[in-house]
Copies of this chain bind each other. A is one copy, B any other.
Amino acid sequence: MAETYPKETSNTVNRYKHQDPSIPVPVVLPMIGQIGHYPSDQQPHCYLHGYVSSRLMNLAASPPGIPLCVAATKLDGFVLTLTPNTHNYNYRSAILHGHGTVVDDESEKLWAMQLVTNSVVPARYEHTRVPPDNAEMASTRILKFRIESASGKVREGGPEDERKDRRREDVLAEVWTGVIPMYERLEEPVGGPYNRVGEVPGHVRRFVDGENARRWTYAVEAARKAAPIKRVKREDEG
């Protein structure tokens, strides 16, 4: 997630503190997010969970909130071609633009916590010690992001070279072209030092097995498509 405000600083990283505040510096924060439709809202929003700094909180406190760009990218393979410039990745990426505010409503916050937790590991929320107590609710900040425009880009399929190189017998004889599929593989769960539940529970086992099958299939199928396929989709709320 990227924001535009003078960078948060520590004592050791303070050069931006002394910059002209009219020249904003972008800041990127890794966060976890999930799009969901809260029943009383007219449209879905993206809910973000992570470290919400006090500066970010202040900027997000008053309407219309803080301008944000939310970006997510997944790599599905390395596309190896005849020339360095035509090398590529198979990937899926999405960019959202809009404004973020902090969720104040307690029941919406609770709903969003459940949404985000279960978007990572399905059914995990209800398999933990819930509901959060008052101290946990107070210390948790959820950013609610209003999606004002969105674009997505997908690349799948095999290599794509210019005709001038595909006609060169000497190059074709020497350079291997193809795709190395890649996916995020989940390994056997490792019980922690204070774990007392002997067997890995069903919701965790199903998550590991299901994700591995799904992700492997996507990456390998994307690599096996001969013709390169690129899709771009843009949407604007206006």
Complex CA distance for A81 and B191, rounded to whole angstroms: 10
- Let me know if A190 is at the binding interface, CB within 8 A: yes
| Cβ of A80 under 8 Å from chain B | yes
As a 0/1 sequence over residues 164 to 207 of chain A, the CB contacts with chain B under 8 angstroms (1 = contact) are 01101001111111111111111111111111110011001001
Main SS of chain A's interface residues?
mixed
Please state the number of chain copies in the assembly. Answer: 2
The distance from the CB of A151 to the nearest CB of chain B, in whole angstroms, is 7
Q: What residues on B are CB-neighbors of A189 within 8 Å?
A: 80, 178-180
The 0/1 profile, CB within 8 Å of B marked 1, for residues 15-28 of chain A is 11000000111111
CB A117 to nearest CB in B, in angstroms, measures: 5
Count class of interface residues, chain A: 35 or more
Q: Given the complex, which residues of B lie within 8 Å of A195, measured CB to CB?
A: 159, 176-178
A84 CA to B69 CA, complexed, in Å:
26
Docked Cα-Cα span, A237 to B181, in Å, equals: 39
Residues of A at the B interface (CB closer than 8 Å) are 2-4, 7, 10, 12-16, 23-28, 30, 67-71, 73, 75, 78, 80-85, 87, 91, 93, 95, 97, 113-114, 117, 120-121, 124-125, 127-130, 132, 136, 139-140, 148-149, 151, 158-159, 161, 165-166, 168, 171-197, 200-201, 204, 207-208, 216, 219-220, 223-224, 226-227, 234-238
Give chain B nearest CB distance to A183 CB in angstroms.
Answer: 6
Contacts A129-B165, A129-B168, A236-B13 given; indicate if A28 touches B185 (C-beta within 8 A). Answer: no
**A185 → chain B closest CB, angstroms:** 4
Contact between chains at B67 and A97 (CB < 8 Å): no
B190 touching A234 by the CB < 8 A rule?
no
Task: Report B-chain residues with C-beta under 8 Å of the C-beta of A85.
Answer: 113, 132, 136, 139-140
New A-B pairs, 9, CB < 8 Å, besides A4-B25, A85-B132: A2-B28, A25-B67, A81-B128, A87-B120, A159-B195, A173-B196, A178-B195, A192-B226, A193-B227
